[in-house]
Structure 1
């Protein structure tokens, strides 16, 4: 792989062509065999953490989605089988695919047509590599700046770097960055009325949508980014949104609503904030998003 340009050298923050004119993997190209082999050495005790919420979570569903329905039936041979109705692929722990958010100019990532993208492209390859867990929620609370799950607050590049330094973890190209804000755990503790209110008002903390944040992630060499909140970025959106720039321009897959509490607690106990991460996106041709299907191993 040729050396990537720094973010400052990307015209307009646009990574089109960096990995080739027909590339549909974007930053996932940074998960090289060498990077994946290194990630495998991080599995030392055989601890496995599922980062996936139940299919029917959040409840009630966000935005205009409806609750999934699970049906079980008996086949003519007497076996049980099942299917789902109203199964929204981005309703629970999920990946935003490159069809989910267009570039600011209206094109898709790497200026490919819609037919050139789809989560099936990621599924054919798989997602695997070293993950770095930054428990920003816990770090900011220790600094006297606690995040509130129902209050808009921007997590800056400086916040991420300070948390990374406090964790003592180095940056490596190909890393999957996992950011815990504490939103999911607070939602779990909320009353039914509080949860219902979120359906209409998704205000909450998340990443800042500015060039400093984008430069930080790109220059680090982050191959994918997943958070435990609704939309990765702070809500409501500001005048400039992060999704079109991270997904559309830089080609960084975004994960939302991931369950990171158990992994974060383990990292705090053993002082190791890195692990092997695997994810198997659904093999759906032309899919816009996918359940995360993610595991962390330490």
Structure 2
């Protein structure tokens, strides 16, 4: 075990789960927590919580992320797709289809790995800020990109495979913000979130996954892969990442992840911060950088939300593993909610 920092950020939990920890608050999902969560399965009905992975469509919302692109390997005179095995042996009558795909790991329904967002921070106490991520792992050392020199590139620490190995299951708490605030643009701080929870008689306990339904994913789907950025930027409820009471509640609640149906969980751009320097993504900074709380974005809670609303419930069993893809700082996934 190696402590990689002399200074840890104010309000962080670096080192609390061990000097080499790479899964943060997912450590709180114990076998007992999973058994409690499984008690939410009463009807055996399951809901798909993922958008089709070719949504939102184009790169209008995310200029540096693109839809999936399919590829097919050459085989013989053609490709290994609708390939007749009779070309290998005249006695075979099989037809084979294989494909490959280029995926931007955070284009559609996704998990952010803890290596996704860091901060310029003086972790070693020498007076000079450096690129630092959760628990003191360093940009250019463990999280290495093409601009950092020769490879291998990627995240040798804090990659998404660590979340995959934690076997992501637990109790989801769905806050139906669309029910309370409609699809008007609404900054949701501590007071608004507590009002929504109280009106649903919902509780958030240690080890829970906070899930936010705002209607954003349904709006994206209605645009048929031609998203209107201006409409989306001015629609639906979104967390106010600058709200200090909300930040404190996220820390004290014991939740292990926040999963939302919108683009970034929090409002982006955020409200102006204090001082000369501040995070542009304050909740990403709090959750990924300081506390090791994973963030899920562009999930699709619409059908589950309607069922929970009709049945007077807010809690469900969530299964949501990412791809076990070593070195990646994010991952598409196909989460399932079971009631």
Which category of TM-score, normalised to the shorter sequence, fits these structures? 0.7 to 0.9
Structure 2: stretches of 5+ with no match in the other structure: 1-7, 73-79, 86-94, 122-130, 143-155, 273-278
Q: Within the alignment, does 1:291 sit opposite 2:332 as a pair?
A: yes
Alignment of 1:245-284 (within 5 A): 245-284=286-325
**Alignment-derived partner of residue 97 in structure 1:** 113
What's the CA shift for 1:140?
2.3
**Alignment-derived partner of residue 69 in structure 2:** 69
Alignment of 1:43-122 (within 5 A): 43-61=41-59, 62-64=61-63, 65-71=65-71, 73-74=80-81, 77=85, 78-85=95-102, 87-103=103-119, 105=121, 106-113=131-138, 114=142, 115-122=156-163
CA distance in 1, matches of 2:21, 2:337: 27
CA distance in 2, matches of 1:89, 1:279: 15
Distance 1:104 1:264, change over 3 A: farther
What's the CA shift for 1:170?
2.2
Q: Give me the TM-score of the superposition, normalised by structure 1.
A: 0.86
Distance 1:234 1:213, change over 3 A: same
Q: Look at both structures and tell me which one has the larger radius of gyration over its CA atoms.
A: 2
Of stretches 248-257 and 112-121 in structure 1, the one that deviates more from structure 2 is 112-121
Alignment of 1:237-248 (within 5 A): 237-239=270-272, 240=279, 241=281, 242-248=283-289
**How many residue pairs end up in the alignment?**
278
CA distance in 2, matches of 1:226, 1:132: 10
SS in 2 for 1:116: coil
SS in 2 for 1:179: strand
CA distance in 1, matches of 2:163, 2:66: 27
What's the CA shift for 1:35?
0.5
Relative contact order, CA 8 A, sep 6+: which one is greater? 1
Structure 1: stretches of 5+ with no match in the other structure: 1-9, 142-146
SS in 1 for 2:16: coil
What's the CA shift for 1:237?
2.6
SS in 2 for 1:13: coil
Q: Give me the TM-score of the superposition, normalised by structure 2.
A: 0.76
Of stretches 177-186 and 203-212 in structure 1, the one that deviates more from structure 2 is 203-212
**Alignment-derived partner of residue 18 in structure 2:** 20
Of stretches 280-289 and 239-248 in structure 1, the one that deviates more from structure 2 is 239-248
**Alignment-derived partner of residue 7 in structure 1:** none
Distance 1:238 1:254, change over 3 A: same
**Alignment-derived partner of residue 209 in structure 2:** 176
CA distance in 1, matches of 2:268, 2:305: 23
8 A contact 2:26–2:166 mirrored in 1: no
8 A contact 1:101–1:247 mirrored in 2: yes
